Amino acid sequence: MRAGPGLLQKPLGDEAYLDFWRFLAATPSSESLVGSPIPGIQTLREGRGGWLQGERWMRTAPCMILAVVLADPGLVKSGLGGRGFRLELPHCSVRAACPPWAFGPGCSEECRCVQPHTRSCDKRDGSCSCKAGFRGEHCQAECEPGYFGLGCRQACTCPVGVACDPVSGECGKQCPAGFRGEDCDQECLVGTFGVNCSGSCSCGGAPCHGVTGQCRCPPGRTGEDCEADCPEGRWGLGCQEICPACQHGAHCDPETGACLCLPGFVGSRCQDVCPAGWFGPSCQTRCSCANDGHCHPATGHCSCAPGWTGFSCQRACDSGHWGPDCSHLCNCSAGHGSCDAISGLCLCEAGYVGPQCEQRCPQGHFGPGCEQRCQCQHGAACDHVSGACTCPAGWRGTFCERACPAHTYGHNCSQACACFNGASCDPVHGQCHCAPGWMGPSCLQACPAGLYGDNCRHSCLCQNGGTCDPVSGHCACPEGWAGLACEKECLPGHVGAGCPHSCGCLNRGLCDPHTGHCLCPAGWTGDKCQNPCLRGWFGEACAQRCSCPPGTACHHVTGACHCPPGFTGSGCEQGCLPGRYGPGCEQPCGCLNGGSCDAATGACHCPAGFLGADCSLTCPQGRFGPNCTHVCGCGHGAACDPVTGTCLCPPGRAGVRCERGCPQNRFGVGCEHTCSCRNGGLCHATNGSCSCGLGWTGLHCELACPPGRYGAACSLECSCHNNSTCEPTTGTCRCSPGFYGQACEHPCPPGFYGAGCQGVCQCQHGAPCDPISGRCLCPAGFHGHFCESGCEPGSFGEGCHQRCDCDGGAPCDPVTGLCLCPPGRSGATCNLDCGRGQFGPSCTLRCDCGGGADCSPVSGQCHCVDGYMGPTCREGGPLRLPENPSLAQGPVATLPASSRPTSRSSGPARH
């Protein structure tokens, strides 16, 4: 198979080449490609890529190339294939090799090699073959220092510290010790030194001299490699500074010289115990001891106050214990009292007194402390605990203040009286006291006729046949009589015994004084004149007939006709005038809002826009017209005129149907008002009220937030403490000098002061400084701007303003003012000599002299007597004769002092 004449033999571009090979890999080898378009192949035209010779790129597959070239539309168009050649693809079975940087089945994978550093990519597995000077799975890294060439397998032969080229192995420039770079103009990096900075410092992280490599130790470190701390008592650069006198077992920081306090102590020299309520390292932990418990400044262990116990002193003592940590047992009588958890004193139960609550309350007293006085009456006994009264016979009540109720007597009022007819009985003995009208032991006998009252002792006074009541003596009069003694006759219009009854005639009827019958006026009838005349009749005794039109009634008294509803006149011939209705047109219409009423029934006929029984209701929302039958067409919930249907737009809306909102900066009904909000405030379209932005308030957002407020409309309250201010927009606190924290709630930590606590106090001798101004607050015994000076001799106290009061020019303690007496003197003002057996400063030392010797009050030197000698006068002593009787008969001899025997028993033993 041959190519047509004139075909170009030029390589494809890389992108077109790859697209071409992907197409071939996806096409069956037996398929004819003549006339088939190849996507992406746009370079196979004369002058723009051209023909590709198969042997160079595809090895054994030139048949594919020829077929593709003749199929390219550009070549056909130019006439290159127009000489009658029609080439078919032969049955090729060998596929083409992958292009550069592609591998795998169908050349579908792309190599991951870094191409500028890579010689080639394996077509089977994609492995990278690196160029000289590079290494790594993807040829991504240069050779390690000291190696070069292909695979970085060759070792450099350059002097120590001189780099070699990773490709050729050529040696670079050698810089003098302490410098590096192409021009040796850069100093060694920290941690390196020597020629070309090739040496590594071995200073435990500290820098070293760039030339010699000698370590430059930081403050607090020493030794050739800076691995050692400063020796005890030294600190600073080169450990040249002397540590201050740290107290309470503290040691100083070898770097800063600051005393590192043990838990429980603070201060520049750890001289202060933790303040109450704090413990631990730097006194930073708050004690958990409740109820006045004291915590150990180092461990925080709680020592509970009297009355409390537990880990945090939060558990009160039980009823049987008291005192600190509830360690003592109560000693109160069981059941009669408990002890105070703090003092241990017995708190007696109600009804008991005494040191151990062992005594009952005395008679007449009760309750807690027996302080209540009994209120029992009538000789009742009083309970010593509650004060409850035990009543005697005939009495009851809380205090036995009430007698037994009626019909009872005796103890607890438990006996029933045998008295009748309302009689009472004696609450103690049960004796009957008869009620008026009765007599006898059990009050069963009524008073005889003519007598009444208590024990029937009174005589009746009734007249005209009246009888008297045996109880009260009141007279019961016969019919026709009245009065206390039935002495008065009944008045006209009243009848009955005692004249209690009225005739009861209605409608101005008259009463017969003898019979009590009613005499009725015209138009009325009945036994009480309670009924009008029957229909069609009127007048006296209802004897006259009405003369009204048929079906029309007349008035039962006058005979006037009752017209039907809607008519009036003597003959009911006239209709009602407007505004009136009903029988005789006597009723006024009750229709409102211009409504008219029916002349007969009074029913209202409502105008457009109204409805209801009396036309008092306007059309419901969204309706209008006669009987509210029409629907409003207003939008956004706007109401319409109930008569005409015209839309009544609410504030903030406009348009025929209220379809538009107010434009910006306008508000109100018809959007006719102009907004007046300032500083970015938003105007409410309905009422024009301003919604202020952050940091502003006021009716028109014209006011900045006042101090202490922030946020939208300044509605939030600042949480800043200690006279600090807050940012009016976000509420961020701006702390005043001396404070820090999110809410400026923390005072500056000890040793710092000023704005943001950035100032460092310069006070000496452990003096604190004012957290605001930094002014040193000198402790007693010191003064000066930084409390750097102790009190001058003769002065003491705060500010050294107080004068010492010591005799003989003796100094005083600069803090307390206590006199520091010289040897041989004592007393508050050093005005006293030392007493016998005392010596030294303030006479605080005791003499150690034997043999009855005294000592110097100044030096303590012993003044020996009676032959004693030595520093403490315990050697030698007076002469002692032998106890041999033969010697006792001769003259007394005196031995020289040098030959006298010494005795250890003459003075007190030395210890």
Count of alpha carbons within 13 angstroms of residue 865, beta-carbon side = 6
Distance between CA 238 and CA 260 in Å, rounded? 20
DSSP state of 18: H
pLDDT tens per residue, range 582-600: 887 888 998 998 888 888 8
In whole angstroms, what separates CA 582 from the centre of its chain?
Answer: 75
Q: What percent of the chain has pLDDT over 90?
A: 6
The tokens of 229 are what?
Answer: 């701390």
> Is residue 820 helix, strand or coil?
coil
- High-pLDDT (> 70) share of the chain, %: 84
Instruction: Decide which of 120, 142, 164 is a domain's last residue.
Output: 142
Mean pLDDT for the stretch of residues 404-415: 85
pLDDT at 160: 72
In a domain, 119, yes or no: yes
Residue 14 pLDDT:
43
Q: What is the mean pLDDT of the segment spanning 547-570?
A: 79
What average pLDDT does range 98-120 have in this prediction? 87
pLDDT in tens, 835-866: 888 998 889 889 989 888 889 998 889 989 88
Average pLDDT on 160-170 reads: 82
SS3 sequence, 667-685? ECHHHCEECCCCCCCEECC
Domain residue limits at 75: 14-142
User: Per-residue pLDDT for 13 more than 60?
Assistant: no
* Amino acid in the structure at residue 702: E
In a domain, 130, yes or no: yes
User: Is residue 205 situated within a structural domain?
Assistant: no
Q: Among residues 534, 562, 590, which one ends one of the domains?
A: 562
Q: How far apart are CA 463 and CA 479, in angstroms?
A: 13
Bridge partners (DSSP) of residue 233 are none
3-state SS assignment for residue 517: coil
Averaged pLDDT, 495-502: 69
Tell me the pLDDT tens digit for each residue of 608-650. Answer: 889 888 898 888 888 888 888 888 888 777 888 888 888 888 8
What was the pLDDT predicted at 37? Answer: 44
The confidence score (pLDDT) of residue 550 equals 76
Tell me: pLDDT of 89 over 60: no
pLDDT of 504: 77
Q: Which of 46-60, 483-497, 536-550, 700-714 has the highest mean pLDDT?
A: 700-714
Within a domain: 88: yes
Least confident interval from 44-48, 380-384, 394-398, 723-727: 44-48
Return the pLDDT at 130. 93
* Residue 907 confidence (pLDDT) above 50: no
Q: Quick check: 672 pLDDT over 50?
A: yes
What is the separation of C-alpha 225 from the centre of its chain, rounded to a whole number of angstroms?
55
Residues 6+ apart with CB under 8 A from 70: 4, 34, 76, 81, 85, 87
Work out the average pLDDT over 783-811. 89
Structural domain ending residue among the three candidates 112, 142, 172: 142
- What's the rounded Cα separation, in Å, for the pair 282 and 493? 112
User: Residues 6 or more apart from 793 whose CB is under 8 A from it?
Assistant: 811
Task: Identify the pLDDT of residue 113.
Answer: 92
Question: Which residues is 538 bridged to in the sheet?
Answer: 544
pLDDT band at 128 (very low <50, low <70, confident <90, very high): very high
**70 or 492, which is more confident:** 492
Q: Is the pLDDT of residue 737 over 90?
A: yes
**pLDDT at residue number 139:** 93
Among candidate residues 820, 821, 824, the one with its CA nearest the CA of residue 854: 824
CA-closest candidate to residue 563, choices 585, 547, 587? 585
Residue 44 inside a domain? The answer is: yes
Residue 48 falls within a domain, yes or no? yes
Residue 292 pLDDT exceeds 50: yes
Asked whether the predicted pLDDT for residue 887 surpasses 60, the reply is no
Nearest to 49 by CA among 13, 99, 100: 13
Q: Render pLDDT for 192-242 as a digit per residue (tens, 0 to 9).
A: 888 778 788 888 888 888 888 888 888 888 888 888 888 888 888 888 888
pLDDT in tens, 656-669: 888 888 888 889 88
Mean pLDDT of the region 120-134: 90
Helix, strand, coil fractions of the chain, as percent rounded to 5? 10, 25, 65
Per-residue pLDDT tens digits for 349-363:
888 888 888 888 888
Give the separation between CA 695 and CA 691, rounded to whole angstroms: 12
Please classify residue 897 by burial: count the beta carbons closer than 10 Å to its beta carbon, then call 0-12 exposed, 13-18 middle and 19+ buried.
exposed
The two tokens of residue 492 are 């006209």
Predicted confidence at residue 92, as pLDDT, reads 37
Q: Give mean pLDDT, residues 11-20.
A: 44
pLDDT at 75: 37
pLDDT 10s digits, 554-564: 888 887 787 88
Which range is least confidently modeled, 390-404, 455-469, 707-721, 877-891?
A: 877-891
The pLDDT of residue 657: 84
> What CA–CA distance (Å, rounded) separates 62 from 92?
10
Q: Tell me the C-alpha distance between 123 and 100, whole Å.
A: 8
Q: Is residue 631 part of a domain?
A: no
Count the domains in the chain.
2
pLDDT band at 497 (very low <50, low <70, confident <90, very high): low
Supply the CATH number for residue 509's domain.
2.170.300.10
Domain assignment present for residue 284? The answer is no
Q: What is the mean pLDDT of the chain?
A: 79
In this prediction, residue 492 has a pLDDT band, given cuts at 50, 70 and 90, of: low
Number of C-beta neighbours around residue 342 at 10 A: 14
Torsion of CA 387, 388, 394, 397, to 10 degrees: 110
